[in-house]
Amino acid sequence: MKKPASKIREEITRLQDQLKQAETREAERIGRLALKAGLGEVEIEDSELIAALEEVAARFRKGGRTGRLAGASVPSGASQGSGGEA
């Protein structure tokens, strides 16, 4: 039996709310961990920080999870302000 469009819209709205809540929880967790790691005090361009975090995420996705990520907290060149600070 097919669901009426109104029921599907209700389900979509409910799922969108669940997604928003899950994203908020994830963002809060990552934010807390970033602050613990000292990233709140690092002067770095957002684009550089995103690139560094993408590298860390890629290492974990590939199964390179060996407890600690030696040297992964700041990729080479990023700590030197290579983003052209004024």
1-43 pLDDT per residue, tens: 789 999 999 999 999 999 999 999 999 999 999 999 999 999 9
Percent share of the chain, pLDDT over 70: 73
Element (H, E) at 54: helix 46-61
62 — pLDDT class (breaks 50, 70, 90) = confident
Count of Cβ atoms closer than 10 Å to residue 12 Cβ: 10
- What is the structure's pLDDT at 48? 95
Q: What's the chain's average pLDDT? A: 81
- H or E element in which residue 72 lies: none
Q: What is the pTM of this model?
A: 0.60
CA distance 19 to 27: 12
